[in-house]
Structure 1
């Protein structure tokens, strides 16, 4: 009789390992948002490449500077409005309260079944791109600073223009 009771108890318990495995497989799938993943890295990497090849692209410091700033502005917009939301579920905006104070609101969506956020691979792409590229820019800053080859709009080819008598 006790054996029958145990069998009845276990019949009532339903374990659904298949749903957990499907969720894990969906979350670790390679890329669900390939276009967002591409543009998350595209603007950052192209800005770095333009900086490295600036002398070949144009002899004008101003045009290279404007191109790099434009690329990084496109990157900022895409991270804020598209890739942050799709790849890791981030959202943020500025809100003015009744007293006229500016408040920043940040939201992060938790990954859940059926959510439209990215996979683990996409999250790695997002966070590594967000961390590694500024580290590269920091490296460029210090190498320029210590090599005394700081790029500036002063006409270096004709320094006599700026001499004082």
Structure 2
């Protein structure tokens, strides 16, 4: 009898252990290198815009440096960190008829559950926060009538905003697909229920 109780206690202790392990993994960084580069290039671009006058008086030099950092950030987010950290990907391609098409993809099913919540939060906070900061830079340059630096801020808004818009479309598109699938399923169930009732009524009438 005591042996049976011991076995029952062991089973009870192990119940749900896999779910707890999965939940704990989602709280840690699974892709620290991707997170580092996701933050590094955008932070350097923002700081360079703010403090570049302290190191070089040349606008051309500072402009080129900021453009390089923004381009590296755009490419990294679009092709690496977006796919690894949040399971989203977007791109453009030209079909056989010469038409430009935008593709927005989202990781689904079991693979979606593997995404770290911490990494996802870092990804979205960095995208949104940097966009807000670039907008503030643009407003500040317009108030000081510094048109050269307002152009730099506009480029920052454009590149970061393109990624922000693309990944939002990926996320919204995946929810729309799920909603459409659920609606279609419910519609089919209602239709089958109505048809079965009609069939039953006809059989009873006969």
TM bracket (short chain): 0.7 to 0.9
When the two structures are superposed, what TM-score results if normalisation uses the length of structure 2? 0.61
**From 136, 139, 156, the counterpart of 2:136:** 139
Q: Is structure 2 residue 101 aligned with structure 1 residue 103?
A: yes
Aligned mates of 1:128, 1:23 — CA distance in 2? 23
Instruction: Indicate if the aligned counterparts of 2:86 and 2:115 stay in contact, CA closer than 8 A.
Output: yes
Q: Is structure 2 residue 44 aligned with structure 1 residue 41?
A: no
Instruction: Indicate if the aligned counterparts of 2:45 and 2:66 stay in contact, CA closer than 8 A.
Output: yes
Q: Spell out the pairing of 1:2-151 with structure 2 (5 A cutoff).
A: 17-28=16-27, 30-110=28-108, 112=110, 118-151=115-148
SS at match of 2:64: helix
User: Which residue does the alignment assign to 1:158?
Assistant: none
Instruction: Indicate if the aligned counterparts of 1:27 and 1:119 stay in contact, CA closer than 8 A.
Output: yes
- Please, which runs of 5 or more residues in structure 2 have no aligned partner? 1-13, 150-206
Aligned-pair RMSD on alpha carbons?
Answer: 2.1
Q: What displacement does 1:64 show?
A: 0.5
Distance 1:111 1:140, change over 3 A: farther
Distance 1:117 1:56, change over 3 A: farther
Instruction: Indicate if the aligned counterparts of 2:26 and 2:115 stay in contact, CA closer than 8 A.
Output: yes
Aligned mates of 1:55, 1:73 — CA distance in 2? 21
User: More helix by proportion, 1 or 2?
Assistant: 2
Could you report, residue by residue, the CA deviation over 1:89-133 in whole angstroms, capped at 9, with x for unpaired residues? 1112222222110111111113636x6954111101100011000
SS at match of 2:103: strand
SS at match of 2:98: coil
Length, aligned pairs only: 136
Instruction: Indicate if the aligned counterparts of 2:26 and 2:114 stay in contact, CA closer than 8 A.
Output: no
- Please, which runs of 5 or more residues in structure 1 have no aligned partner? 1-14, 153-165
Q: Which has the higher contact order (CA 8 A, sep 6+)?
A: 1
Aligned mates of 2:55, 2:80 — CA distance in 1? 29
When the two structures are superposed, what TM-score results if normalisation uses the length of structure 1? 0.75
Q: Which runs of 4+ in 1 moved over 2 A?
A: 110-113, 115-118, 147-152
